[in-house]
Structure 1
Amino acid sequence: MRFLFVGDSMTVGRAGDFTWRHRMWQHLERTLGPGAYTITGPRTGLYAGDEADASQAYADPEFPRAARRHLAGWGEGWRHMAPLIQPVVATTRADVLLISLGLIDLGFYAHAEETAEHARTFLTRARAAKPDVRAVILPVIPNVRARTDPFFADDCARFNTLLAKAVADLDRPGSPLLLASHPPGYTLDADTYDGTHPGPSGEHRIAAAFADGLHQAWGVGGPYRDLPE
């Protein structure tokens, strides 16, 4: 089984982070076992300053280079990934996409309706490359801006509703789509370092949302066991 992480700054991480990708790799090692899966993608790095995919300074230096692969970028959203996903899936032959996108779109580029259309385009193009591809998609987690900007908060809520509809509309037996649950127990104050990006506890909670979705819906892996107290 070949996994491809797709995301924005919350997924790529910055120099010095573990990333939730690292937490998910540990989970897959424990529940599927070495050799039973592959993590794939065209990038391996973290964000450093103004340079995307520039750093390999992960908090765990033993994080294998092969497991660092991803398609994620600081400041990249559904609109940026939609043109990229078809050639990446065609090249990597990814079986399962683990996707966390949307916050950057809503924060800087487009409202909920246009962002939902980009999500539909992304999923359609992924299937054009591999008709049996699966995807687990995390709803947008509103960041600290939503506390003081009610229009942004409403846009995030509306997008999540539209995303759920897109998943329901596009889901099919040969290429199932799954909308993950909000990460269990996730709060901005406890689980981010700046009101947006996950700290260590937030990384575990995001990984748990994907891991538990995979296990509960498709019997892949097992329950996530590293949630912080």
Structure 2
Amino acid sequence: MDSSHPVSETSLKLMVVGDSMSHGREGDFTWRFRLWQWLRKEEVDFTFVGPFTGTFVPEKPRLHHPPDFNPPVNHSGGYAKGVDFRSNHFSLWGEQTYHCRKLIGQQVEEYQPDYLLVMLGFNDMAWGVGGPEDAIFWMGELIETARHDKPDVRIALANVPQPTPKQGTERLAEMIDRYNCLLEDSLERWRRECQTSPMELVQVTETYICTEASYDGVHPAALGEFQIAKAFSRTLVDAFGVGKKELEIPSEIPERPTSIPERTAAEARSYGFDVTWDAVYGARRYDLRMRIGGESTWLSESQHDTNEALITGNEVPIEDQTEYEFQVRTDNWVAQSGWSETASATSRLCLSPGSEDVAMEPDTELVFVHLREAGPEGHWDIDFHEVII
């Protein structure tokens, strides 16, 4: 990422305020870049401002270490290869209006943006932080705080896109519809509250079609990035006179590189196997399959977010003193690579008895599991416990 492009004192300063759909994942182009390209094509004198420059970086491998239940968001990731732009922004993976409303004042005070391009609200409802009415109230507070620190800031405010329907998400779809109606109804009131700060709706939900343009039902794939940028460009042209013609989505959409993982390795452990491979830049996840050595039928296939897998035999029982083979491929949801070279190892199981006196203690966000080891004290050297809930 190159943030050294010259910026004139008269450049329009734009700050993108959003969640993961705006932040982007390592290897993405992001809709921010597509909007940047469009603004350059329209010969607008502008710069993006904000405290961050990168994308979200996936979690690093943690074999034999407990998970970090509250990891800091890593926003130093790179973009698609060849992307070079002044990429400053104020978007974070997992961000909510509830949280951002407390931070926006400091960012507006420091960077003094002329425009806020805001795309928030999904996580407030999807994560159960609040309902549509709560999210609208928090959005109102965010707007009020931003205006307090810059009374003439212009605001392009996006509605919330509808994710691809899945079983169990019917209530979320209803909440998003309700939120979008409340958002449109609230605009006139928010305009009246500060007439020096113009505000317009960005119709993202009408333009970004998750069923065809996302990679996981929510986050934009390459087409979705263009669609979101198009929605913002339309508002900038029609409502604010920034640019002359809205972004046109090209007929040819670039495909995400999907390379075959290299250096796949398997190591037998007392509980099963550790399987590792070199990380592929921009991989959204990986598929791993296993079989008994020499057999033609694969026993199982599983998905993994990082370039590691700890195989304990939960899905398919592992036979002791038996050779197993493993292959991995990159899975970018919309496309998969070929399978890697085969790695193999011979099992050498040595499992302790199950724990006794297991007790569970629920908390507001976590479940604490208390247990006592089985067998004579000191007889077993426990590497880790596996808990299935």
TM-score between the two structures when normalised by the length of structure 1? 0.92
The structure with the largest helix share of the pair is: 1
One of 203, 207, 217 as aligned partner of 1:195 = 217
CA contact (8 A) 2:108 2:146 kept: yes
CA contact (8 A) 2:25 2:77 kept: no
Counterparts in 2 of 1:16-165, with a 5 A limit?
A: 16-33=27-44, 36-50=45-59, 52-64=73-85, 67-108=86-127, 109-145=129-165, 148-165=168-185
Provide Cα deviations, 1:46-102, integer angstroms capped at 9, x if missing partner: 1112452433320044422xx210000010011111011111001000010011111
CA separation of 1:210 and 1:185: change in aligned 2, threshold 3 A: closer
Deviation at 1:30, TM superposition (A): 1.1
CA contact (8 A) 2:29 2:83 kept: no
Deviation at 1:174, TM superposition (A): 1.5
Counterparts in 2 of 1:163-182, with a 5 A limit?
A: 163-172=183-192, 173-182=195-204
Separation in 2 of the partners of 1:204 and 1:143?
17
Separation in 2 of the partners of 1:52 and 1:204?
25
Q: Which structure is larger by alpha-carbon Rg, 1 or 2?
A: 2
One of 184, 192, 209 as aligned partner of 2:231 = 209
Q: After TM superposition, what 4+ stretches of structure 1 lie above 4 angstroms from structure 2? A: 145-148
CA contact (8 A) 1:211 1:222 kept: no
Amino acid at match of 1:45: G
Report the RMSD for the aligned CA atoms in angstroms.
1.7
Separation in 2 of the partners of 1:217 and 1:78?
24
Separation in 2 of the partners of 1:116 and 1:110?
10
Separation in 2 of the partners of 1:225 and 1:176?
22
TM-score between the two structures when normalised by the length of structure 2? 0.55
CA contact (8 A) 1:147 1:153 kept: no
Separation in 2 of the partners of 1:72 and 1:207?
15
Separation in 2 of the partners of 1:94 and 1:196?
28
Structure 2: 5+ residue stretches without partners: 1-11, 60-71, 252-389
Paired residue for 2:343?
A: none
Separation in 2 of the partners of 1:228 and 1:178?
26
SS for the counterpart of 1:59 is coil
Greater shift in the superposed pair: 52-61 or 40-49: 52-61
Amino acid at match of 1:131: P
